[in-house]
Amino acid sequence: MAPAHAARKTRFLVLHDYGMGGLWWWVHARSAREVVETFAEVEVIDDPGAVERAGTWEVDEVDIDAPTMPGSLAGLRAQRDAQRNRPGFGALADRSVVHLRRRWDGEDGVASAVYLLEVGPDGRRLRQVELGEDGTAIKSSPDDWPFNPPVVDLFDPDLVGMEISRDEFQAEWLRAHHEDTSQ
């Protein structure tokens, strides 16, 4: 039997979406799962149209087993390496839905709040409740957001301490109202 590292590699289109833009690479790896286990805060793009368009771009092409990576990708690998041996690493990665409570301390004129997030297996928000310090509870969903990039990396061990139950999320969702209504 051949060792696992001898398995055939495929070229994957990989994106690190940092909010106002993204960094792209072609990564040769044995699986999409191997890519997200090796690099923090990335996603493998499998939309055929996006992959075809990217074929015309000037994008770094790397082998997952290479000892060095282009700058930002090297940092994402180092970040994942630092997470790998910590308790909770990957504990949320195989779930279809995860509920989290994240504190936002406020910045750039945006008030501090607590965000309850319902995220899918790709780390994108499915639903969100913003709990304001004044007691307000505003709910939103993908129809309310102009963009919905991944907001969490489900391999991140820090997320385990932020997890809440579906029941807790749902109770706040039912209490909350949309921003433009009072219901």
State the amino acid at position 17 in one-letter form.
D
Residue whose structure tokens are 């936002």? 104
pLDDT band at residue 183 using 50, 70 and 90 as cut-offs: very low
Give pLDDT tens digits for 26-77. 999 999 999 999 999 999 999 999 999 999 999 999 999 999 999 899 999 9
- pTM of the complete model beyond 0.85: yes
Contacts of residue 79, Cβ cutoff 8 Å, sequence gap at least 6? 40, 41
Supply the pLDDT for residue 112. Answer: 83
Q: What is the pLDDT of residue 168?
A: 98
Using alpha carbons, select from 137, 111, 142 the residue that is nearest to residue 126: 142
